[in-house]
Structure 1
Amino acid sequence: MGEYESYVVIHNIAKRHNVGTLARSATAFGVSEVILVGRRDFNAFGGHGSTSYLRFRHFHSLFDARNFLKERDCDICGIEITDGAMAVNQHPFQKSTSFLLGNEGTGLSPKECEICDFFVYIPQYGFGTASLNVTVAAFIVLHHFGVWAGFSERIREGNKFIVAERPAKQGKRNYCTETEECIAGERKSRRENASNGFFDGSGNEDSCSNLLDALFTE
C-alpha cells in the first residue's frame, strides 16, 4: 500500500448492520486490518462480501489493542466532536494511524478516549443535524487519510472499480481466529494488567457490554 497503513478499531458500535458497512469502507479505502475488541464473532450484514478481503485481529481489551498498535508505531485517532479535535480536512496525520469510532448514541467513552493520541472531527455546513452516522463518518475520515498517505487509486473499468479475485476461505465465517500462542499471551496480559481499568475485573474473558451483545451475532 505504501509507507503508511491505516487500521479501524471496532469496540462499542451498537447497530449490527454498521459493522458490515464499516468493513466495506475499510476495503474501499485500503485499511490494513480491522481490530475487534470484545467478542471474536461479527455480523457482516451490509458488507457485500468485503469481509473476505480484510484481515481481522481480535483483542479482549482496549489496553491490549493499544499495545499492539503502539508496537507498530501507530497513532490512535478518535473520531469525535470534542474540545481539541482537529478538522479532518486539515489532514493532521503524521504516520500510520488507527481510527476509533464512537458509539452511535453516546460517542467515545472515557476509556476509549484514554487510548487516543489525538482526535479529528468532520466539519458540517448545514444546520439540520448534530452529527453524522458512524459509517458515514468512517467513509469520510478513511478517504482523507488515504489521500494524505498517497494510497494508489484502484484501477477502474467502466463505471466500477475492479475487484480482486476473492481470497480462499480461511477459518470460520465471520469469526476472528487466532493461534493458541496469541490467545495464551492475551490471557497472561489480562492477568498482569487486571488493575488498569481497560477491561472487566471479574476475570470473565467473555464479558462484554450490552452494546456489544447488540452488535455481534451468536
Structure 2
Amino acid sequence: MIDKELLTLFESYLTDKRKALYKKVIAERTCHFTVVLEDICQPHNASAVLRTCDIFGVQDLHTVENKYINRVSKYVAKGSQKWITSKRYKSDGNNTQICFDNLREKGYQIIATSPHTDSCSLQDFDISKKTAFVFGEETEGISDFVKENADGFLNIPMVGFTESLNISVAAAIILQDVTTKLRNSEFDWQLSEEQKEVLYFDWLKKSIKNSDVIEEKFHESKLLE
C-alpha cells in the first residue's frame, strides 16, 4: 500500500514536466506480454532486449540463470534498466521451471521462440492471451526443458539463407509486432490503477538522490506525531 503523503513528498522533488512524462509513459506500459531470457551469455544481448522492452512498453523482464549470470551493459541498456521491473531466477534448482511456475500462476502462457520447431508464424499469433515470450541462449537456443514444457512456439518468417536472427533483433521484431497489434485492439492491456501507482512511486523514488534517507526521516517524523 502506497503512503499518499510520502508519494506527495517525493513528487515535490520533481518538476511538473518530469511527473507528467512518468504518467504518460506508464499509461503505455503493459504486463499483458512479458519476456523471459534463458541463459543469455552476452551482456550486450540481454541489455539490448531490456532496452527493447522499455521502448515498446513491456514492463516485466525475467532472466533465468542456470548456466550464465545475467549482466547488464550500461552502455547498451542506456538507462532502461531503471524503468523495467526485472526478476532474476538464479537458485541452485531448475530456474527455468521456477520461472515458468511463477508465470503460469499469474495467468501467462509460455511461448518459446524458435526457428527450428513446428511453430506459429508471427503474423498469425493470437495476441488475446497473456504471454511470456522465451528467448534462449545465443548458440544453442532454448533448452530441452523449454521445448518440452512450453505451451507453444513462435517463429519469425525468413526467406534468406541465414536460419536465425540475433536474439536482440528477434525480440525487437516480435515485441514491436505484438505490442502494436495489442494497442490497436480492444483488449484490456494497460496496467491496473494500483499497478500504475506502484510503478509511479518506484520511478519517483529512483529519480531522487538519497530517497531512502528522505523516506526514513519521513517515517521517523510520523512516529513523533
Q: 2:86 aligned to 45, 49, 56, which one?
A: 56
Q: Which has the higher contact order (CA 8 A, sep 6+)?
A: 1
> What is aligned with 2:171?
138
Q: CA deviation at 1:41?
A: 5.9
2:39·2:63 contact (CA, 8 Å) conserved in 1? Answer: no
2:183 matched residue in structure 1: 150
The residue number in structure 2 matching 1:10 is: 37
Higher gyration radius (CA): 2
Residues 44 and 51 in structure 1, CA contact (< 8 A), matched pair in contact too:
no
Matches within 5 A, 1:73-92: 73-92=107-126
Segments of 4+ in structure 1 off by > 6 A? none
Is the 2:31–2:58 contact (alpha carbons within 8 Å) kept by the matching residues of 1? no
Partner of 1:66 in structure 2?
100
Cα deviation for residue 98 of structure 1 reads 0.7
Deviation at 1:53, TM superposition (A): 0.7
User: Structure 1 or 2: larger helix share?
Assistant: 2
Give a deviation string over 1:3-30, Cα, whole Å, max 9, x none.
Answer: 8611111221121211111101011111
**SS of residue paired to 2:77:** coil
Q: Identity over aligned residues, as a percent? A: 25
* Match of residue 29 from structure 1: 56
Gaps of 5+ in 1: 153-163, 171-218
Q: CA RMSD in A?
A: 2.7
Shift of residue 82 of structure 1?
2.8
- Matches for 1:76-115 after TM superposition, within 5 Å: 76-115=110-149
- Tell me by how many angstroms 1:167 deviates: 4.6
Cα 1:14–1:4 change in 2 (3 A) is closer
Q: Distance in 2 between matches of 1:115 and 1:169?
A: 37
TM-score normalised by L of structure 2: 0.62
User: Does the Cα contact within 8 Å between 2:111 and 2:131 map onto a contact in 1?
Assistant: yes
**1:40 shift after superposition:** 7.5
Give unpaired runs (5+ residues) of structure 2: 1-27, 186-199, 208-225
Alignment TM-score, normalising by the size of structure 1: 0.64
Change (3 A) 1:4 1:32: closer
Cα offset for 1:92?
A: 3.0
Number of equivalenced pairs: 158
Q: Which residue of structure 2 aligns with residue 199 of structure 1? A: none
Q: What is the CA–CA distance in structure 2 between the aligned matches of 1:167 and 1:115, rounded to whole Å?
A: 39
